[in-house]
Structure 1
Amino acid sequence: MLLLAFDTATPAVTAAVHDGTAVLAQAFQIDARRHGELLLPAIGRVLAEAGVDKRRLTALAVGVGPGPYTGLRVGLVTAAALGHALGLPVHGVCTLDAIAHQARAEGVTGPFTVATDARRKEVYWASYDAEGRRVEGPAVDRPGELAVRPGAVGAGALLYPGTFPEARGPEHVSAGALADFAVTELAAGRELLPPRPLYLRRPDAQVPAGYKAVLPA
């Protein structure tokens, strides 16, 4: 297996190549406003560092969020275009699941919650058991509306210590962790998600109401 993975659901623009055993190369850059500019160069760098021609890839994995509309669609559109051009299957991964997988690899134990910043004083969150399996969520809520959740990870948890005491990193998803999660799930015979976005709420942009017609009826 040669799997290319990437995610744009958080402020991090991240890509990685995994050979089915280990991560061969990965890139990670935080810039919430430049997903569209940074993703393809990041993909090019990890393929070059891994010494993998894109035509040798066997699958793609992409983070499906939850995340803000503008950033999230960059990764999903890129995955759809590459999958079509290269004739590859495209697997979706919940971004919160990938962060949970990364947290466990970095030593987080016991039940915990992953929370990322959803802006508008809200967080995207999901809860996991001691084995790292998701047991609740994903959802989007104001932290004050949630019960106190100790042992949380993620940038959203770090923003609201009253709800997420003793919060810690990782703050954002790593494509290396996302790739490893995807490979692990596929090797166990478990299906991943379709490559469709988990927005969880409507986009900020709305069609204006009551606008004047400029063409004759």
Structure 2
Amino acid sequence: MRLDPATLADLALAFLPDSYVRACLLAHRATPLGMGHGTTRFSSPVAAFKLLYIAEDLQTALAETMIRDRFENRVRRRIGLGEVTAWGATEVSANAPLTLIDLRTTGLLRLGVSTDAGRAKAHRLGRVLSAAIYDRTDADGVLYLSRLTSATCCAVYERGVGKLSATPVEDVVTLEGLVPALRGLDVEIVR
């Protein structure tokens, strides 16, 4: 993938996320900033690096992890309480500014990259772009808009995670914001 170094440098910004939200399965509660290799939007196509995803609010964190596209073409939008109880959330803040490549507005267009890299259901182009950014810059990650809620999200490379701190993971069912967050997504919890 061809990327202009000057454009990448221009898109790099110092970003200090404060009280961003990470949703994770409670099985990973002991490692709120833990990472693994995956097949997510900006993960490495060849397992060369790990990522941590955080969102600006609980609604987006849940949409990006627990909900995703499961309710497409469905009028009844219900999720079982048993499934919800498997999830936790933590607040993540930066102790020092992260250097992130800003893809929220015109970044993809300016790089000459298909907007599918940041906004399509398929992740192939996003993964190729992320690998190119990782290899050609010292950026800590990318800043992008959730394709599900349009809220700001960060994909932080493992090299930037040392700048982050997290609160203990809490069960999402105990969070005061859970019902409003799901209601905003037109999702109902059922027993």
Indicate the structure whose relative CO is greater, using CA pairs within 8 Å and at least 6 residues apart: 2
**TM-score, scaled relative to structure 1:** 0.22
